[in-house]
Amino acid sequence: AAGVIQSPRHLIKEKRETATLKCYPIPRHDTVYWYQQGPGQDPQFLISFYEKMQSDKGSIPDRFSAQQFSDYHSELNMSSLELGDSALYFCASSPGTGFYEQYFGPGTRLTVT
Amino acid sequence: AQRVTQPEKLLSVFKGAPVELKCNYSYSGSPELFWYVQYSRQRLQLLLRHISRESIKGFTADLNKGETSFHLKKPFAQEEDSAMYYCALPASKLTFGTGTRLQVTL
């Protein structure tokens, strides 16, 4: 069965650069979530989209922005990268908002040097 | 505000021993709770949800509203159970606990 796809799997950037992470949800899933997991940390919710509209917002820095496109894929744009942005970024999708199981992608590991 | 607490960062047990991973929650409504598991170098995946009341890989979890707990249990731990376990409270987003690393040794 198709799973959530994230690209790239690994990304190395320098401080103050920009990064774009992509997430392709499971077909027919209309909700996408982004989480950040720092080294040894639990996943922290960043932002979510339902039907291409932002549905909830967590601890996402102002330097980050995200959107969901007409084909339901989502992109997380990160600017002015800082060393502390180094983390594993997970995307998850679900067939709606609320008490649905979220299916996670493999994550993009971002390293900022 | 919703909150999930997992008091143990690490739980180390011998193979064949019983396992209990603790989870307590704070939520104003009627909760739906999940346990997610993350094996080494793999993605987070749902282990079980309380509403389904099923046993997955020998694990069970019962929602105790009086104690606001959703502890994960398995009677006999296996080596392949070694992983990070996260208790999560879903609403418009998942609120994760801080996770418990289960280490099963011979």
pLDDT tens digit sequence for B5-18: 999 999 999 999 99
Average pLDDT over residues A77-81: 97
Contact list in A for residue B96 (CB cut-off 8 A) is: 42-44
Rounded to the nearest angstrom, the minimum Cα separation between B44 and chain A is 6
Query: Given the DSSP bridges, would you call strands B100-105 and B10-14 parallel, antiparallel or unpaired?
Result: parallel
Both tokens assigned to A48: 């979510």
Give Cα separations from B53 to A25, B12, B23, B48 (angstroms): 27, 26, 16, 8
| Facing residue for B99 by CB, picked from A42, A45, A107 | A42
* B86–chain A Cβ distance below 8 A for any pair: yes
Q: Residue B37: its pLDDT value, please?
A: 94
Q: Residue A36: its pLDDT value, please?
A: 94
CA pair distance A7, A109, nearest whole angstrom: 10
Average pLDDT over residues B13-38: 91
- Which residues are within 8 A (CB) of B71 and not within 5 positions of it... i.e. 6 or more apart? B20, B21, B22, B23, B61, B62, B64
C-beta of residue A101 within 8 angstroms of C-beta of residue B34 = yes
Is B43 in contact with A33 (Cβ distance < 8 A)?
A: no
Q: Residue A1: its pLDDT value, please?
A: 64
Contact list in A for residue B94 (CB cut-off 8 A) is: 33, 35, 43, 45, 92, 102
Please state, rounded to an integer, the average pLDDT across all residues of chain A: 93
Q: Residue B91: its pLDDT value, please?
A: 66
- Say if residue B97's pLDDT is above 90: no
Q: How confident is the model at residue B98 (pLDDT cuts 50, 70, 90)?
A: confident
